[in-house]
Structure 1
Amino acid sequence: MKYLWTFFWTFLLVQMLTYVVSSMIGIEYNVETGTILAVAVTILILIVPALIPNEPEEKHIH
């Protein structure tokens, strides 16, 4: 379920970002571009926490 909600909110936010940026630079809004970016960002959001270690690093006193 968390994957669905992650994609849902990422999709909405990326679509808003795509609309605003395309409007600011004066080009046509394209839903396909936003959808492709939303899928890529969702995958990135789901991969990054898997790469970050959960346990704190031990500090060695010299």
Structure 2
Amino acid sequence: MKYIATFFWTFLLVEMLTYVVSSMNGVEFQFMPAFIISIVTTILILVLSAVIPDGPREQH
């Protein structure tokens, strides 16, 4: 469920960002490049969340 929710929100935010930037530049909105970017961003987010530790470090 964590993976689906991450992809869902990443997809929405990247599509929104792509739409706004393309409108500001006066370029036609394209769905597929934003979809590919959202997949890559989701993978990066999941990899970073796996690498970063959850709890505080123990003091020795």
Task: State TM-score, norm by structure 2.
Answer: 0.85
Quote the Cα distance in structure 2 between the aligned partners of 1:23 and 1:16.
11
Count matched residues: 60
- Offset of residue 52 of structure 1: 1.5
One-letter amino acid of the structure 2 residue matched with residue 18 of structure 1: T
The structure, 1 or 2, with the larger RCO (C-alpha pairs under 8 Å, 6+ apart) is: 2
Aligned residue for 2:29, secondary structure, equals coil
The answer for the alignment partner of 2:39 in structure 1 is 39
* Structure 1 unaligned residues grouped into runs of 5+: none
One-letter amino acid of the structure 2 residue matched with residue 29 of structure 1: F
Structure 1 vs Structure 2 CA RMSD: 1.4
The answer for the alignment partner of 1:26 in structure 2 is 26
The answer to which of 13-22 and 50-59 deviates more is 50-59
Aligned residue for 2:54, secondary structure, equals coil
Identity of aligned residues (%): 58
Larger radius of gyration: 1
* Structure 2 unaligned residues grouped into runs of 5+: none
